[in-house]
Chain A
Amino acid sequence: MKETKYWTFHIFAGILLLFVLGFHFLYTHIGELLFKESDNISKELSQGRDAKTSFLVFFIILLGLGLYHGLYGLKNILFEIFSSKAVQKIIVIFILLLGIGLFFFGSYSSYLAHKNAAAKTEVSHAK
């Protein structure tokens, strides 16, 4: 039944990714083409987004969902290639560590970007 739990989370993560990733693409990449707005991927606008806490939370959620969905899929593929239970245990530990590591690295990077962008925005406002 444990696998059912992981599978359910995998499905939910996939559904949520559709919306979260959809929003990301729409806002950052496609919005420009659709709404004929200014250059959304320009450095200034990117920094402006990074400075907002809501976007920091959004990026961390996107990262978490993407990592869980992708790494669970990778685990399943590797489990089909390696049927030995001992190897499967190693795969689970490796993927778990990789996922946690990448999540913290990505979250920390986003936080730093947010911090820097917020500081720059404050400086520009002060000027």
Chain B
Amino acid sequence: MPNEKNVKFYIRRYDPLKDKEPYLRSYDVPVSKGMVVLDALHYIRENLDPSLAWRYSCRMGVCGSCGMLINGSPTLACNTQIFDISETELTIAPLPNFRIIKDLVPELSPMFEKHREILPFVVREESELDDPEGEFYQTPEQLEEFLQFTFCIKCGCCMAACPTLATDPNYLGPQPLAQAHRYNKDTRDGGRKARNQITGSNDGAFKCHYAGECSRVCPKGVDPAKAIQIMKRQLVFDFLKISKSQKPCEKLKGPGKGEKKDIPPAPTYTVQE
């Protein structure tokens, strides 16, 4: 592995106010071991072209702002080591399946609107608002059912990789559907019926072709394709009324007031005083 090497970056540029269509522009960037694509973009803006636009925030794969198409694969610029991909040249473009605001900045609003549609929150009875005391009991096994889907950072990489969304912009897409599944599987939630109206609609889960690209590109290891397939089965079972009814769990109302759980006795001392 060389210490420092010149890597040619081909970046798709586009300013809707000036350009008729996107074009590629190349930049030579000195890359050293450990540099991620985001570092190279900073180098370009600070030293070569201050007009380059992209979106970023946390620099550590948490915020999901810097999703872009790097060498044909949607991923996070802050999470991608340059030398892991290439030592000679790299092509960077904005996430496909989204309108381009400028250069590498996609318009993610359609994804967030679809995400909002699927009620991405724990739905409970309104009457509980009058009595906010207590807590929900959830076993580790119940948590495991949906835990991986909570890791979604809404970067849009799955939406960019989805071939169905590429041809049909009405399709909800893997991100909102996976999140719908995440809340449907939450034992504290009581909103599956309401969500089924959206996920089981014409533009919902049944449009998924199971290409699996969404799961392959997810930088957080979430598996939206799996979520959608489970959701399809769940929708059919709900329609046939043969699914296990998933009533939201009861609240525990503090010591002595809620349901008592068997607490295993503490282990015996191993060290004698």
Contact = CB atoms under 8 A, between A and B. Distances in A.
A-B interaction: yes
Interface of A: 1-5, 7-8, 11, 76, 79-81, 83, 88
Main secondary structure of the interface of B (DSSP, over half): helix
A6 B89 CA distance: 49
B168 A4 contact: no
B168 A79 contact: yes
Interface of B: 164, 167-170, 196-197, 200-202, 204, 206-207, 232, 235-236, 238-240
Nearest to B201: A3
A4 B207 contact: no
Nearest to A81: B167
Contacts, number: 43
Contact of B197 (A1, A5, A7): A1
Contacts of B168: 79-80, 83
Given A8-B239, A83-B170, 12 more contacts: A1-B197, A1-B235, A2-B201, A2-B202, A3-B206, A7-B206, A7-B235, A11-B236, A76-B206, A76-B207, A80-B164, A88-B202
B164 A7 contact: no
B68 to A, nearest CB: 26
B164 A1 contact: no
Top 5 A-B residue pairs of the complex, sorted by shortest distance between their CB atoms: A4-B200, A80-B168, A4-B239, A4-B235, A1-B200
Contact of B202 (A8, A79, A81): A79
